[in-house]
Each structure stands twice: as C-alpha cells, then as structure tokens.
C-alpha cells in the first residue's frame, strides 16, 4: 500500500522501497533480544570509565571511534569476511584457532567465545544449520554464508550492534543521558559502512590493533572489584 509524505511544497505519494528480507535475519541475529548475553560485557569500557579515561560524551565518542577503526571493530570485520570465505568446517576450525590466538587478553577471549558459542547453538537449532562453536565474528561470518547474506551488510550491521551495546553499557556506568548517548551512536553508525568497506580487500595478515588503551583496559578489568560487567 502507498502512503503520503507531507512536504512544505506538496503532498507526494510514498512508495514502499523493496527490502531484501534476508537482511531481517541478520538484524535478528544482532538484536539485543538475541540471547547471546551481550548485555553482560563492556569490552573493557567499565575499566576505562573507572580509570577516568572515559568521562563524558566526547571522550566516549573518541574511545569508541578508536575501537571501531583501530581495534576490535576493524579486526572483527576481517574475521567475519574470512569466515564467510570458508567453504567447509575444517577451514573454519583452522580460522577459529587463529582467532583465539589473536585475542589480546583472557577477558576478550571469554567475551567473544561465550557469545559465539551461544550464537552458534541458537542459529544451528532455529535455522537448521551446522555452525561450529567459535568466536562470535567467526560464527557470524560462517552463518551469513550459509544463508547467502551480503557480507558487506553483515559487517556494517555487526559493527553498529557492537557500538550500540557499548553505548548502552556506558549509560549504566557514567552520567550520560539518552540523547547524548544516541548522538554518539548516530555519529559512529555513519562510520560503520566505511570500516566494513575498508576491510573488503584485506586478509588475515592485515589484522592489527593500535587501540592500546582499549586492550590495556580489558587486561586491567580482570582485577577490577566491584564491577558490573564480565569484561
């Protein structure tokens, strides 16, 4: 059915845009309602706030931008692409071993492993797929290939979901209102397709991280008491 769009000049007909229904699958997989326990992890942000490295809207935006472009965000997009390229489970399991070895700390490994195992179990059951238990981006990339999703879209949506979870964590940890939090997320969401595209022609040899404080925060968080988040 059509509708109407009101503008200052006229009333124009609105037509429904064609939608790739397969994208709704990945939005379900990355939804906060999908039971992988993402709400329990702050990716070291809790330690960063405790240490005073993140204290307001601007420092939160800068912290997450570094994670997105120079740390886990970029690397996870690469892992998704590498897993998407695996044409059999043996190749995926080899990739999973490399992904585990690349984790910079015990908490980072736990965070990605627990979410990835939950993701693989649920997707295998509900969508009748064979997704081995693996790190979250690895499991996601392989599942995306199995249902023929666009890997570019999967990477961008994954990055936005990761940022959304961290912004939500920040709201529970520091005095930042809903409007400011959503402003941070909106600004960084615009970067997600660009980060995804920047990983389109690179491979495992290009994995790196220069988001050093983020990695240090994840290591220090292992000893933080009291704390709200598992990482």
For residue 77, which of 212, 217, 203 has the smallest C-alpha distance?
203
Q: What is the pLDDT of residue 12?
A: 42
Run of H or E residues at 3: strand 3-6
Instruction: Please state, for a pLDDT cut of 70, what percent of the chain lies above it.
Output: 92
In the chain, where the domains are located? 54-217
What are 219's two structure tokens?
A: 């290591």
Span 4-62, pLDDT tens digits: 334 343 444 545 556 677 789 999 999 999 999 999 999 999 999 999 999 999 999 99
Q: What is the pLDDT of residue 23?
A: 85
Enumerate the β-bridge partners of residue 4: 13
What are 114's two structure tokens?
A: 């627990």
Residue 205 DSSP symbol = G
Q: What is the pLDDT of residue 4?
A: 39
Q: What is the pLDDT of residue 18?
A: 61
Q: What is the pLDDT of residue 11?
A: 45
**Rounded Cα gap, residues 155 and 68, in angstroms:** 12
Which has more pLDDT, 15 or 158?
Answer: 158
For residue 38, which of 143, 109, 112, 104 has the smallest C-alpha distance?
112
Residue 61 DSSP symbol = H
What DSSP string describes 139-185?
HHHHHHHHTT--HHHHHHHHHHHHHHHHHHHHHHHSS--HHHHHHHH
Q: Is residue 65 pLDDT above 80, yes or no?
A: yes
Question: Minimum mean pLDDT among 44-48, 56-60, 161-165, 202-206: which range?
Answer: 202-206
How far separated are the first and last CA of the chain, in Å rounded?
A: 47
Q: What is the pLDDT of residue 5?
A: 38
What DSSP string describes 39-103?
GG--TTHHHHHHTTS--SHHHHHHHHHHHHHHSHHHHHHHHHHHHHT--SHHHHHHHHHHHHHH-
| 54-217 maps to CATH 1.10.4190.10 | yes
Run of H or E residues at 212: helix 212-220
Span 71-128, pLDDT tens digits: 999 999 999 999 999 999 999 999 999 999 999 999 999 999 999 999 999 999 999 9
Run of H or E residues at 231: none
């Amino acid at each position: 059915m059509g509708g109407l769009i009101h503008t200052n000049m006229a009333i124009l007909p609105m037509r429904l845009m064609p939608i790739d229904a397969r994208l709704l699958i990945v939005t379900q997989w990355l939804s906060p309602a999908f039971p992988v326990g993402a709400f329990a992890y702050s990716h070291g942000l809790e330690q960063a706030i405790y240490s005073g490295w993140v204290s307001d809207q601007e420092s939160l935006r800068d912290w997450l931008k570094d994670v997105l472009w120079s740390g886990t965000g970029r690397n996870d997009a690469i892992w998704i692409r590498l897993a998407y390229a695996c044409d059999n489970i043996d190749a995926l399991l080899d990739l999973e071993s490399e992904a585990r070895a690349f984790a910079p700390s015990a908490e980072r490994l736990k965070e990605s492993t627990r979410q990835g195992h939950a993701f693989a179990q649920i997707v295998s059951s509900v969508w009748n797929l064979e997704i081995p238990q693996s790190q979250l981006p690895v499991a996601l990339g392989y599942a995306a290939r199995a249902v023929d999703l666009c890997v570019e879209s999967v990477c961008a949506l994954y990055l936005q979901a990761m940022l959304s979870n961290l912004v939500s964590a920040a709201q529970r940890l520091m005095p930042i209102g809903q409007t400011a939090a959503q402003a941070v997320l909106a600004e960084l969401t615009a970067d997600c397709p660009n980060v995804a595209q920047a990983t389109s022609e690179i491979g495992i040899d290009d994995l790196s991280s220069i988001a050093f404080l983020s990695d240090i925060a994840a290591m220090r968080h292992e000893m933080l008491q009291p704390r709200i988040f598992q990482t």
